[in-house]
Structure 1
Amino acid sequence: MFVPCLPAASDVPTASQRGSRWSGWPGFAVGRSAAVLVSLLTAVALSACATPAPPVQGPLPPPPASTPAMAKVASAVEVVGAQGTLGPQRREQVIRNAAAQGSADLLKRQLAAMASFGDVDLYANNDTRLLIDGPATFEAMFAAISQAKKQILLESYIIEDAAVAQRLADLLVQRQQQGVQVAVIYDAIGSLSTQDAYFDRMRQSGVAVCAFNPVNPLKSRRYQDITKRDHRKILVVDNAVGFTGGINISAVYSSGSGSFGGSKGRQKPSKDGQDDSKAKDRGWRDTMIQVRGPAVQALHGLVLQTWQHQACGGALQPLPPPEGVAGQQLMRIIPSTPQDKENRIYTLLLGSIRAAQKSVYLTMAYFAPGQDMVDALSDAARRGVDVQLILPSQSDFSPVMHAGRSHYERLLKAGVKIHELKDAVLHAKTAVIDGVVSTVGSSNMDWRSFVHNNEVNAVVLGEDFGTAMTRMFEKDRDASHHIDLTAWQHRPVLQRGKEYFYSLLEHWW
């Protein structure tokens, strides 16, 4: 009997995201037994499906054998500045400016590693701001929306009908009534429990609203396989300021996490390394980035592209970028879709880790990365690179957490340092490599992100932003429990069993 491949349960709103009841299914309480049942049913369904294609095809290119010359690096990339595409001399100068922040040789090696996987499109003259947790993110996003003059484009996996979303809807309707074009696209699975009335109110006020890949194919002009989801989080205002990262429009972000001054204050991490059952009560730990400058054009174009691809009603107008230079940061915007032959976010991370000489700091909500990525992390640690991971101690979807833990022993033996965040539910997807390659995005390090979802990561090149990212990592590390190899080897048999079982389905989470 054929069993259709379904979205992993991590893509379906859970009780931890929506409250004690899943509003999409009135009267049904999602408890521990229900979560176990969902996991088992998902496992049965997935066992009938073909193994998904890997996110990279063919042999991997080797990392740079030596530090390349600046001219060679510049010739391997394309750079867009405030006035358009840059010529060879200006392109080389922009890279020199980024290298002048520090660690020039490391930056050149990393750019060469990126170029070995194909085209590298860079954006110069950007201003960037790191946004930590929900309160700071929503404050910045709502401020930008309030100042919109021409257009607001919002693309979000989850829009939850909670207080923060009501405030958002009020602002969007207000700007629409004042002549601003407003468009919202949300994922039909991610926002499944949000009642139609929430979106209908905006539609009736003139806001263009579109569901990505609706569950009911009759509601879509271009229906796709239900496993293909839009996991991006993008806001673009007037093509002048953009936001992207891991934060959904959801009540779980109403307070900050314990690590960064959440409403319940800083909590000391538990010492026993076991799951922190109170972590979910202390908010969710996540990260976004605010961008001004040419890189915003790429985010703007992605929303327009998704809107068109889904045949959403109403035409969205492309806007010219604002004049002037916003800042000095050099960036990449890396999108991925299930239609890609190779996942560029995956190749960025894999190539940067394999080329690393100094450090690899990953903070990852869902870590089920596959063999190539585990090999790269282990090899980096063995050659003396400081490889550290911050992973969850508590998750809204535990099968991914257990699948990731199945790799711990091998990673620890190779010298990788692993920490589990204890202060909050970890939902961030960030990395800083060699202090010069920083990425903030929607993509987890798991097969669902690499193969089945629309994702987007923003990459900032240079030591200035890398230093801010490293400070953020260190603060999260201080709020985490360090995993000791000897203690890990004595973990309970039941825990080992969970790791083994869920690792069998690692390519499906």
Structure 2
Amino acid sequence: MLQHPHPSPAARPQPPRRCGSACRALLLLCLPVLLGLTCCASLPTIVPDLARHSGAPVQLQGARGPLTAPQSRAILDGLRARGQDTDIFARHLALEEAIVGSPLTTGNAVQLLQDGPATYRAMLAAIAAAREHINMETYILDDDEVGRHFAAALIAKQREGVQVNLLRDSAGTIGTPAAFFQQLSDAGVRVLEFNPLNPLAARRGWELNQRDHRKLLVVDGRVAFLGGINISSVYSGGSFGKKPRPQARADSAPTWRDTDLQLRGPAVTELQKLFLANWAAQQGEPLRDRDYLPTPQSAGRQVVRIIGSSPEEAFSLIYATLLSAIGSAETTVHLTNAYFVPDPQLLAALEAAAARGVDVRLILPGQSDSWLVFHAGRGYYERLLRAGVKIFERRGAILHSKTALIDGVWATVGSTNLDWRSFLHNHELNAVMLGTEFGLQLQAMFTRDEAASEAITLTQWQRRSPALRLKEWFARLWAYWL
């Protein structure tokens, strides 16, 4: 059940979207205008009504459509049997049913991808194997070594007769020259700019606040990639000690730590539907006739739900399902996130979980591409540490991952940050995986990141310098406008 109360005293004006250094400068210049356009809003209070679904059988959707109740029960019993001998899995399954959205699909294969090099290799291999169409949706697509490599690969497939459709965010690609996209268009690639920053180019109501933060690649409707990874040379190196290539990272900047997924199976159809819906909503040219929704094929045994969120909806499904999962946690809440500027309800959920004995651990950046967001997030450390939440800052890389693992059986990877921006203003995309098979993989990655991080203790944090406290105070003033 979702309750939409009147704005609470904690509610604040809605902020414009954080969108990279160049875009942030633009937004700050426009701030006086934006302040006049924003209105008071609060995130909805999420109360999952688990009892409402406890008596009804859960129905999964497979490659050939909805499964029968016995088929669904057999798959879920198998997942439950591989977990702990408790009702933890049943509780998380119930909350997934309580959050209305896309179907729970079975028959999926899910591969966890770490950092840019591994993800790009897999993506480029899928592009090279494309036979019918390629749909790409991205926030950032830089005109650098990696971006040009992708552009060449997309142009080559277009010339082979594979239809390539590219949806790119206007703010995220603000630093990419128009000529970069023109070469793609000249080759026949359909390029669509999401919500142009230039109001004169707007195809519908101009909304500077709304940005497309999704990162999605769908090839032939059979294989898909999603997560936090943009198309940029900042990802040219691995984040666990491997040296970046000198030609790609001549400035010796730190590498970026990020996470993506490669999926096959019925969940790909749900991702394809989201791309097609976003293209249509942006009033792009009608897409050329292709088999965008081929008959799904079973590729594995993972149970996956695809969740797309939009500021045009009454509430963020990703926000709702995450809060519900944290509220139902019995043993562990392990979150890794790049931009941590939580709203009061998320803070309360984390504190409540820690108070009932749940092991709550946050891996957050030790350095960031956003000075204000970094220090605004640190401004919540003392409150969380006092509540028993364990905080770790990732060292040696810029953390950009957005993952969560709860009780070892509920996992999500996607583009959503833990801030008001993602929950209120962005088009975001996450996948939720149920069961211990994927949970064990994500836990191993979390443990490795924790080992590469510095633990922040309450005693240590209370001794931080007055200069740091001043930065936190200043950043918190701007937290809702970053």
| Same topology, TM > 0.5 | yes
CA-to-aligned-CA distance 1:385-418 (integer Å, 9 cap, x gap): 1110000111111212222112111111111100
Give distance in 2, aligned partners of 1:303 and 1:462. Answer: 27
Give the letter for the 1:11 counterpart: C
Could you tell me which residue of structure 2 aligns to residue 54 of structure 1? 42
Could you tell me which residue of structure 2 aligns to residue 272 of structure 1? none
The counterpart of 1:88, out of the listed 69, 74, 82, is 69
Task: Please state whether the residue corresponding to 1:321 is helix, strand or coil.
Answer: coil
Could you tell me which residue of structure 2 aligns to residue 170 of structure 1? 152
Could you tell me which residue of structure 2 aligns to residue 12 of structure 1? 20
Give distance in 2, aligned partners of 1:74 and 1:321. Answer: 31
Could you tell me which residue of structure 2 aligns to residue 494 of structure 1? 467
Q: How far apart are residue 42 of structure 1 and its match? A: 7.2
Could you tell me which residue of structure 1 aligns to residue 434 of structure 2? 461
The 5-angstrom pairing of residues 4-83 of structure 1 reads 7-8=16-17, 10-14=18-22, 48=36, 50-56=38-44, 59-61=45-47, 72=54, 75=57, 77-83=58-64
How many residue pairs match? The answer is: 464
Give the letter for the 1:12 counterpart: G
Does 1:445 pair with 2:454?
A: no
Change (3 A) 1:98 1:7: same
Change (3 A) 1:182 1:48: same
CA-to-aligned-CA distance 1:442-468 (integer Å, 9 cap, x gap): 010101110111000011111011111
Could you tell me which residue of structure 2 aligns to residue 29 of structure 1? none
Give distance in 1, aligned partners of 2:117 and 2:50. Answer: 41
Change (3 A) 1:292 1:73: farther
Give distance in 2, aligned partners of 1:423 and 1:308. Answer: 41
Task: Please state whether the residue corresponding to 1:198 is helix, strand or coil.
Answer: helix
Q: Is the 8 A contact 1:188 1:211 kept in 2?
A: yes
Change (3 A) 1:250 1:63: same
Q: How far apart are residue 247 of structure 1 and its match? A: 0.4
The counterpart of 1:306, out of the listed 278, 281, 287, is 278
The 5-angstrom pairing of residues 125-144 of structure 1 reads 125-144=107-126
The counterpart of 1:235, out of the listed 217, 224, 244, is 217
Give the letter for the 1:290 counterpart: Q
Does 1:161 pair with 2:169?
A: no
Give the letter for the 1:313 counterpart: E
Q: How far apart are residue 51 of structure 1 and its match? A: 5.0
Give the letter for the 1:298 counterpart: E
Does 1:214 pair with 2:202?
A: no
Q: How far apart are residue 143 of structure 1 and its match? A: 0.1
Q: Which TM-score applies when normalising by structure 1?
A: 0.85
Could you tell me which residue of structure 2 aligns to residue 327 of structure 1? 300
Give distance in 1, aligned partners of 2:26 and 2:276. Answer: 35
CA-to-aligned-CA distance 1:294-350 (integer Å, 9 cap, x gap): 000011111111111111123254533355420000001000001110111101111
Give distance in 2, aligned partners of 1:345 and 1:184. Answer: 24
Could you tell me which residue of structure 2 aligns to residue 98 of structure 1? 79
Change (3 A) 1:230 1:366: same
Moved more, 77-86 or 339-348: 77-86
The counterpart of 2:336, out of the listed 363, 366, 375, is 363
Change (3 A) 1:393 1:45: farther
Q: Is the 8 A contact 2:304 2:433 kept in 1?
A: yes
Q: How far apart are residue 114 of structure 1 and its match? A: 3.1
Does 1:346 pair with 2:346?
A: no
The counterpart of 2:263, out of the listed 275, 284, 291, is 291
For structure 1, which runs of at least 5 residues remain unmatched after alignment? 15-23, 25-34, 266-278
Q: Is the 8 A contact 1:74 1:95 kept in 2?
A: no
Q: Is the 8 A contact 2:15 2:421 kept in 1?
A: no
Q: How far apart are residue 508 of structure 1 and its match? A: 3.1
Change (3 A) 1:188 1:60: closer
Moved more, 46-55 or 128-137: 46-55
Give the letter for the 2:78 counterpart: N
Change (3 A) 1:503 1:44: farther
Q: Is the 8 A contact 2:318 2:430 kept in 1?
A: yes
Does 1:337 pair with 2:310?
A: yes
For structure 2, which runs of at least 5 residues remain unmatched after alignment? 1-12
Change (3 A) 1:120 1:208: closer
Change (3 A) 1:284 1:305: same
Q: How far apart are residue 188 of structure 1 and its match? A: 0.8
Identity rate of aligned residues, in percent? 44
Give distance in 2, aligned partners of 1:420 and 1:196. Answer: 37
RMSD (Å), alpha carbons: 2.6
Change (3 A) 1:117 1:81: closer
Task: Please state whether the residue corresponding to 1:464 is helix, strand or coil.
Answer: helix
Give distance in 2, aligned partners of 1:61 and 1:165. Answer: 43
Change (3 A) 1:102 1:322: same
